[in-house]
Amino acid sequence: MKQQVKIALLPALLCLISHTFADGGTSPVEIAATQVAVSEAAQQLAGIQVSPAQASQHRQEINGFGKAIDLQPLLNIHTRHREALNGLYMAKAALNTAQQALDRYQELYAHGATPLHTLQNQQLQWQNASLQSAAATAKLQAIQAETLLHWGPVLAAWVLTDQPGKLEGFLNGKALLLQVSLPTNHQPTVAPAIIFVDPSGERSKAQRASLIAPAPQNDPNDQSSNYFYETSGQAIRAGMRVSVWMPDDNQQEKGVNIPASALLWSQQQALVYIKVAPALFRQQAISHYTAIDGGYFIAEAVKAGDAVVTTGAQMLLSEQLKQQNPKQDDD
């Protein structure tokens, strides 16, 4: 509702800006094509706000790709492991019982209290229990080795040791597991703790993903670096491929951060407005920008401390077009 009110008031505000500017008694001095003049009173009425651009450093990004992993195979391993573990407990208990019985019959036989065939029968039962225990141990170890090979030590520990809470977010759909790959010519010394991912390949829509651990290199023909990351499960589903943006430790730029509301587009050109005088704004074209949390990083064209318009930039663009084409406006 508030947005509708703002849209409805926009023509009136622009008209008021123009009248206030004219009423200010400013002489009809030619204004540069990249500038727009608006009186301070009109700025207040239109709600125009500025904020100084914040100096910042930004690491350039490496592009990679990833895939949202279906956790069902991992959950199946969890079930198999629990069953194998229970089987081992039962086999060891049976072996312990057989061992106690064998010890007792050996003592009885030594004192002539039981015949040889009874002792031999007990020895067979012990051997069978021992084989069952060894088989249960081998089965459990095979599951553990398989999990370690395909999922790595961190995820293997999650599923094999029942670490509390580690899988809860994945099970209720709030979290999603990603396997991320980087090309062979970009091998970071340390995997970034945070990367950005998006299934549509749009950097401005990318969401954060947090590092879990390196992923095992099971394919000898795959020379890329692989990592497991955790991200929100709201926009990505298992099986989806995602584009990845990962900061490059070796490439760092100096520039400024601006809020997302400061950047606008006109005729496919990114723009910001900078206040250069109490009643004057300069339109600044932006050739390169990088989406960051809550805004954009700009390495050129805007300096630290520049008074960037954060609210009302679209109104300034409309007013600038009116001032550049007064005859068209009169028609």
CATH number attached to the domain at 62-69+168-251: 2.40.30.170
Helix axes 72-110, 116-160, angle to 10 degrees: 160
Residue 80 has pLDDT above 80, yes or no: yes
Give the integer Cα–Cα distance in Å for 47 and 237: 41
Give the integer Cα–Cα distance in Å for 272 and 234: 32
Task: Give yes or no for a contact between 17 and 315, defined as CB atoms under 8 angstroms apart.
Answer: yes
How many C-beta atoms surround the C-beta of residue 215 within 10 A?
Answer: 21
Summarize pLDDT for 154-195 with one digit per residue, the tens.
Answer: 999 988 886 667 888 888 888 999 999 877 666 666 788 889
Summarize pLDDT for 223-257 with one digit per residue, the tens.
Answer: 678 899 999 888 898 899 999 988 776 667 889 99
Quick check: pTM over 0.75?
no
Give the integer Cα–Cα distance in Å for 62 and 246: 5
Domain 2-59+254-330 fold: 2.40.420
Residue 13 has pLDDT above 60, yes or no: no
Question: Residue 31 CA to chain centroid, in angstroms?
Answer: 45
Summarize pLDDT for 96-129 with one digit per residue, the tens.
Answer: 999 999 999 999 999 989 999 999 999 999 999 9
Structure tokens at 17: 């800006």
Helix axes 313-324, 2-23, angle to 10 degrees: 40
Question: Residue 34 CA to chain centroid, in angstroms?
Answer: 38
Task: Give yes or no for a contact between 257 and 239, defined as CB atoms under 8 angstroms apart.
Answer: no
